[in-house]
Amino acid sequence: MAAGENRILLKNVDQPGYGRDIDSYISKGGYEALKKAVGMKPEEICSEVMDSGVRGRGGAGFPAGMKWKFLDRKSGKPIYLVCNADESEPGTFKDRQLIYKDPHQLIEGMMIAAYGTQTALSFIYIRGEMYDGARILEEAIEEARAKNFLGDDILGSGYSCDLIVHRGAGAYICGEETGLIESIEGKRPYPRIKPPYFPAVLGLYMCPTIVNNVETLCHVKHVIERGGKEYAKLGKPGNTGTRIWSVSGHVQKPGYYEVECGAMTYGELINEVCGGMRPGRKLKAIIPGGSSSKVLRADERFQGKLKDGTEFDWGVEDIPLDFDGPMAAGTMSGSGAIIVMDDSTDIVAALANINAFYAHESCGQCTPCREGSLWLKKVTARMVAGEAREEDADLLKSIADQIEGRTICAHGEATAWPVQSFILKFRDEFIDYARKQAAERKAKDSKTAA
């Protein structure tokens, strides 16, 4: 554990002698929270989660207790619980640590959530590429079933619920909750229009469904273990608990770090926990919440008022490492994937890489996303190939502006935001790129002519 971390979800992970088998987990107090939970009323579980203030760790930061409250319990239809383990956001590698290294923590969190919401059947939808992860979960589920932590009449409570592992097939859009639901139903993962109907009302098989991220469901175990109000003492109001940050890019020690929300700034995480930039290099930019969030320049300043009325005047490195800090700076913490870029970064090439990803992963259902993402990819690929034009910056922005807000799911915004923010913040680099290439072409032509 690095200095400054507060490991709760990752407490046992990477410890010598700790296996991912059920005996290891039980030796560390595993499944005690489930035993406590089944002695409580289901509505008490929901109240504890509400009191904890725990927010979704998948990307949107929506309060988990609130989502559970929105469940349509009057419909008389079965309720489903789905764990979103399709972790695919570029730069994100936190859920796989929890799945591969401590699968029982997730299973325990899920069975508590299932009991609290009186779920009829639960699913873990796991990214297709995590082949070993699916196998690990299936083995762990069998171990848990043998000890009656799931299945029929769980721990003699009279409550029964099974847990199914469903593998995806490698499509990013399956991580969008309604695309994921369509995929479990055996269809193409075309996201559904929401609002008006969110999965909590019409989800899997048109029944009320809770979709929560892996990390969120692991937190549920700790909420019940500590009690919601006690858990809420971790972090700060509105940003409770810990978060696992995936740090990649040009730092000395990239990796996954679990830090109490708001306990440090982005600068402290990068410079102290991650060992700072590579030798002789300076910070150029960070993408704070996976590639779907807006890029921040190292020399930007942000001023304004926080929700509680506190005035702030931050540089990038002063932004608090929580949900609301990046929002105040006009971006978002998303899935907690921090991509760090130093002054050696070719910003046009970085955007070309991001554009290629979103074009490849568009499901093709809406025209602005399908056509626009491809166009963005083609323009930046041409620029990188040596045919950049000065007007490309405006062209890229105009395409992105016509995608944002005109699509069925957030993939449209995820495609547009990087382009808009890269152009806004590094416009000069895009124009210089074209000028430099034009000068090089001219020099080459005159050499050939001579």
Can you give the binding site for ligand SF4, defined by CB under 6 A? 173, 191, 362-366, 369-370, 407-409, 411-412
Q: Which listed residue (50, 120, 410, 431) binds ligand NAI by CB under 6 A? A: 410
Give which of 154, 173, 171 is closest to 163, Cα–Cα: 154
Cα 103 from chain centre: 18
CB of 171 to ligand SF4, least distance (A): 10
CB of 236 to ligand NAI, least distance (A): 21
Which residues face 108 on adjacent strands? none
Q: Which listed residue (65, 179, 288, 290) binds ligand NAI by CB under 6 A? A: 290
- Choose among ligand NAI, ligand SF4, none what residue 199 binds, the Cβ cut-off being 5 to 8 Å by kind: ligand NAI
Cβ neighbours of residue 276 closer than 8 Å, sequence gap 6 or more: 251, 252, 270
Could you give the count of Cα atoms lying within 13 Å of 35 in the half-sphere of its Cβ?
Answer: 6
Whether 241 and 231 have beta carbons less than 8 Å apart is answered as: yes
Assess 18 for contact with ligand NAI (CB under 6 A).
no
CB of 187 to ligand NAI, least distance (A): 19
CA dihedral of 75, 77, 79, 84, whole degrees rounded to 10: -100
- Choose among ligand SF4, ligand NAI, none what residue 211 binds, the Cβ cut-off being 5 to 8 Å by kind: ligand NAI
CB of 402 to ligand SF4, least distance (A): 13
Which residues face 249 on adjacent strands? 340
Piece of 8-16, 74-82, 197-205, 439-447 that binds ligand NAI (CB under 6 A): 197-205
Whether 58 and 174 have beta carbons less than 8 Å apart is answered as: no
Give the span between the Cα atoms of 387 and 147, in whole angstroms.
64
- Choose among ligand NAI, ligand SF4, none what residue 411 binds, the Cβ cut-off being 5 to 8 Å by kind: ligand SF4
Q: Which listed residue (334, 368, 372, 418) binds ligand NAI by CB under 6 A? A: 334
Piece of 8-16, 288-296, 299-307, 353-361 that binds ligand NAI (CB under 6 A): 288-296
Q: What is the number of the residue whose Cβ is closest to ligand SF4?
A: 369
The sign of the CA dihedral 251, 253, 258, 262 is negative
Locate 354 and state its tokens: 């991001």
Assess 286 for contact with ligand NAI (CB under 6 A).
no
CB of 404 to ligand NAI, least distance (A): 14
CB of 403 to ligand SF4, least distance (A): 8
- Choose among ligand NAI, ligand SF4, none what residue 297 binds, the Cβ cut-off being 5 to 8 Å by kind: none
In 262-410, which ranges are continuous DSSP H helix?
A: 266-268, 324-328, 347-361, 367-382, 392-401
Select 183 or 265, whichever has its Cβ closest to ligand SF4: 183
Select 8 or 366, whichever has its Cβ closest to ligand SF4: 366
Pairing label, strands 311-315, 337-342: unpaired
Give the span between the Cα atoms of 323 and 242, in whole angstroms.
11
Select 18 or 62, whichever has its Cβ closest to ligand NAI: 62
Cβ neighbours of residue 291 closer than 8 Å, sequence gap 6 or more: 89, 90, 91, 337, 339, 354, 357, 414, 418
CB of 377 to ligand SF4, least distance (A): 13
Q: How far is CA 175 from CA 133, 309, 363, 426, in A?
A: 16, 35, 12, 30
Locate 31 and state its tokens: 């499944």
Assess 198 for contact with ligand NAI (CB under 6 A).
yes
Whether 338 and 248 have beta carbons less than 8 Å apart is answered as: yes
Q: Which listed residue (12, 265, 292, 415) binds ligand NAI by CB under 6 A? A: 292
Piece of 44-52, 106-114, 244-252, 327-335 that binds ligand NAI (CB under 6 A): 327-335
Select 81 or 366, whichever has its Cβ closest to ligand SF4: 366
CB of 363 to ligand SF4, least distance (A): 3
DSSP-derived secondary structure for 93-125 = -SHHHHHHH-HHHHHHHHHHHHHHHT-SEEEEE
CB of 386 to ligand SF4, least distance (A): 30
Assess 71 for contact with ligand NAI (CB under 6 A).
no
- Residue 226 parent element (H or E): helix 214-226
Residues that bind ligand NAI (CB under 6 A): 58-60, 62, 67, 70, 87-89, 92, 175-177, 198-200, 211, 289-290, 292, 332, 334-335, 410
